[in-house]
Amino acid sequence: MEPEADEAGAPRASGWRGLWQSRSFTRALVSLGLSAAAMNTCDLYSHLEWKVMNPVLNKPALMAVEMQVPLEALMEGLERMERVFAWLGLGFMVWAFRSGTPQWPAWVALLPAVFAWIAAWHIYV
């Protein structure tokens, strides 16, 4: 039995080596990393909002007005980063589906990418 060949006619590697060389797998792996980064940024935003900003807004004497402005700018930056990571994760997941075989890595990356994209839209500054 002869090994499968790619578009150029070269023999295609099988097993784990072939999986690492597949475009679908590497793009799905990048999508998973970007989705994790988006979720982590969402977590950082939530901690900053509920553990720092919320007590300050309830007791304004805890923080000077000069400190509130940089914190709000930091929150806006985290929001922007989260949305960029989520969109990139979704884009790499779609690219993994369009990359050919095997498609199972793209199916694995689908759920985290969609969840990260949905979670990115919970923030309204």
Listed ranges 16-25, 95-104, 116-125; the one with the highest mean pLDDT: 95-104
Q: Are 42 and 119 in contact (CB under 8 A)?
A: yes
What does the block give as tokens for 35? 């989705």
Of 26, 4, 24, the residue nearest 13 (C-alpha): 4
Average of per-residue pLDDT values in the chain:
80
Rounded (5°) CA angle 56-61-62? 50
pTM given for the model: 0.73
The one-letter amino acid code at 58 reads N
Task: Tell whether the model's pLDDT for residue 2 goes beyond 50.
Answer: no
Q: What digits encode the pLDDT tens for the residues 56-114? A: 667 766 666 666 677 778 888 888 999 999 999 999 999 998 887 788 889 999 999 99
Q: Could you give the CA distance from residue 72 to residue 49 in angstroms, rounded to a whole number?
A: 9
